């Protein structure tokens, strides 16, 4: 067990660098690699040949970095949230996104109820089962060259609809999870409502003032200003019971329609990558592998339903988007990948109490581990599915 904080940080980053490289060479997503690293060198780490791998405990440094990871992940989802994409083919997108939402949320809720969870807990399970991973899928689309084909437009469009649904979803779930008692809950929801309206105003009428604040030639000051605004508003949101993730999403959406969009991508992406890596690591760190195995039957059922649900909604969504059957099959396979959003929901669940905190995060980790790897591989072998299914 390392004693000084810097050494702990060093161990974490060396580990992340190694895990990331292994995933890179295996042409897989880095997210499962970071999760596994967290499990291996965390408190529940195994002992190999008499030497315990357990080197790192959750602590303030990791907690803060992980929090910043959530903030910047959601900030970037906001930045990449494209009104133009939603507006380009609204009717087709509404159908494709609608099928995706209805099928997968319904399956998630039914799954939770069938395993004896309350409706509220089942909504968390739905929040983990429903969203596909924008980060992993987008990278695969570029790697496989699908990015230039019509299905990528449909896939990314549906991912954007998921982003907006999840922003609202997390706002509500986190509000209730943090809120606690009914009378306090009402008070919190009031505060949350005020803050959300303020953020929505920032994203609409305040956009130009925000853009002016960022008019600065030095990249360094630009970085500090945007980080300052985002983290401050995230923290302020948290103190009134609004999810910091949702606040960050709104700030990102506010700046995405300004002239600074490309610069933000360029200047802030490294900060996001750094903090997000620690976030995924921290989720793994807080996971006891035994808890993942305890969630075994739920996990197997969720994986089965997760594959069936997304294949179905992806295929139907593709057809609703006027894609040819072969391209709709690609969409079905692509949408299976889950990732960052499911883990953000898990992080929210971990702040609650009871079964929510005890069982759901471990379930989410197991689910994302399997689904992120499986989805990437299925996309890679999509050609043989296309041949077999379309003749």
Partner 1 sequence: MTVYESDLPGVGRKYELETGDGRLVVIIHHDGLREVYRRESPDADAQKLFEVSVDRARQLAAVLQGTDFETVDVGALSAPLGEAIIEWREVAADSPYAGRTLGQADLRRETGVSVIAIQRAGETHPNPSADFTIQEGDILVTLGTREEQAALDDTVD
Count of CB atoms situated within 10 Å of the CB of 288: 15
Burial 254-283 (b: 16+ CB within 10 A, else e): bbbbbebeebbeebbeebbebbbbbbbbbb
DSSP string spanning 207-264? HHHHHHHT--S-HHHHHHHHHHHHHHHHHHHHHTT--HHHHHHHHHHHHHTSTTHHHH
> Cβ of residue 163: shortest distance to partner 1, in angstroms?
8
Please say which residue, 122 or 134, places its beta carbon nearer to partner 1: 134
Please say which residue, 79 or 195, places its beta carbon nearer to partner 1: 79
> Cβ of residue 183: shortest distance to partner 1, in angstroms?
41
Please say which residue, 133 or 287, places its beta carbon nearer to partner 1: 133
Could you report how far apart the first and last alpha carbons of the chain are, in Å? 58
Contact positions vs partner 1 (CB under 8 A): 76, 80-82, 84-85, 88, 134-135, 138, 141-142, 145-149, 152-153, 156, 159-160, 262, 265-266, 324, 326
Residue 205 DSSP code: T
What residues have CB less than 8 Å from 257, skipping those under 6 apart?
Answer: 83, 207
What are residue 47's phi and psi, to 5 degrees? -105, 125
DSSP string spanning 36-72? HHHHHHSTT--EETTEE-------HHHHHHHHHHHHH
> Cβ of residue 223: shortest distance to partner 1, in angstroms?
16
Please say which residue, 122 or 342, places its beta carbon nearer to partner 1: 342
Please say which residue, 241 or 375, places its beta carbon nearer to partner 1: 375
Please say which residue, 188 or 330, places its beta carbon nearer to partner 1: 330
Please say which residue, 237 or 343, places its beta carbon nearer to partner 1: 343
CA distance 125 to 102: 14
Please say which residue, 160 or 196, places its beta carbon nearer to partner 1: 160
- What sign has the CA pseudo-torsion 43, 346, 9, 26? positive
CA distance 68 to 64: 6
Please say which residue, 259 or 266, places its beta carbon nearer to partner 1: 266
3-state secondary structure of 353: coil
> Cβ of residue 148: shortest distance to partner 1, in angstroms?
4
> Cβ of residue 83: shortest distance to partner 1, in angstroms?
9
> Cβ of residue 104: shortest distance to partner 1, in angstroms?
20
> Cβ of residue 382: shortest distance to partner 1, in angstroms?
11
CA 107 to chain centre: 19
> Cβ of residue 262: shortest distance to partner 1, in angstroms?
6
> Cβ of residue 100: shortest distance to partner 1, in angstroms?
16
Closest by CA to 349, choosing from 341, 92, 95, is: 341
């Amino acid at each position: 067990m390392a004693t000084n904080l810097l050494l702990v940080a060093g161990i974490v980053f060396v580990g992340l660098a190694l895990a990331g490289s292994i995933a890179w060479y295996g042409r897989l997503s880095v997210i499962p690699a970071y999760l596994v690293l967290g499990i291996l060198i965390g408190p529940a780490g195994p002992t190999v040949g008499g030497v315990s791998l357990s080197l790192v405990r959750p602590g303030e440094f990791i907690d803060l970095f992980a929090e910043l990871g959530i903030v910047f992940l959601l900030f970037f989802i906001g930045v990449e949230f494209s009104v133009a994409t939603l507006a380009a083919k609204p009717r087709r997108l509404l159908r494709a996104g609608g099928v995706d939402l209805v099928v997968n949320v319904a399956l998630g809720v039914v799954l939770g109820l069938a395993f004896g969870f309350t409706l509220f807990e089942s909504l968390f399970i739905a929040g983990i089962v429903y969203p596909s991973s924008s980060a992993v899928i987008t990278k695969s689309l570029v790697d496989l060259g699908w990015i230039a084909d019509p299905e990528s437009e449909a896939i990314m469009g549906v991912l954007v609809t998921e982003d907006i649904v999840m922003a609202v979803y997390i706002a509500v779930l986190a509000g209730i999870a943090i809120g606690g008692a009914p009378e306090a809950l009402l008070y919190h929801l009031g505060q949350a409502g005020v803050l959300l309206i303020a953020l929505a105003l920032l994203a609409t009428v305040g956009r130009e003032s925000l853009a002016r604040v960022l008019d600065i030639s030095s990249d360094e000051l630009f970085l500090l200003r945007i980080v300052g605004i985002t983290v401050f508003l995230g923290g302020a949101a948290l103190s009134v019971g609004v999810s910091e993730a949702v606040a960050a999403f709104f700030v990102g959406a506010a700046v995405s329609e300004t002239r600074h969009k490309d610069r933000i991508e360029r200047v802030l992406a490294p900060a996001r990558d750094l903090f997000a890596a620690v976030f995924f690591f921290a989720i793994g760190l807080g996971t006891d592998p035994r808890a993942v195995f305890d969630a075994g039957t739920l996990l197997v059922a969720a994986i089965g339903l997760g594959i069936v649900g997304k294949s179905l909604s992806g295929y139907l969504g593709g057809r609703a988007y006027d894609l040819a059957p072969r391209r709709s099959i690609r969409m079905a396979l692509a949408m299976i990948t889950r990732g960052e959003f499911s883990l953000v929901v898990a992080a929210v669940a971990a702040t609650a109490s009871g079964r929510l905190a005890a069982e759901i995060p471990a379930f989410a980790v197991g689910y994302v581990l399997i689904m992120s790897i499986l989805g990437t591989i299925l996309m890679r072998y999509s050609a043989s599915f296309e041949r077999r299914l379309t003749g």
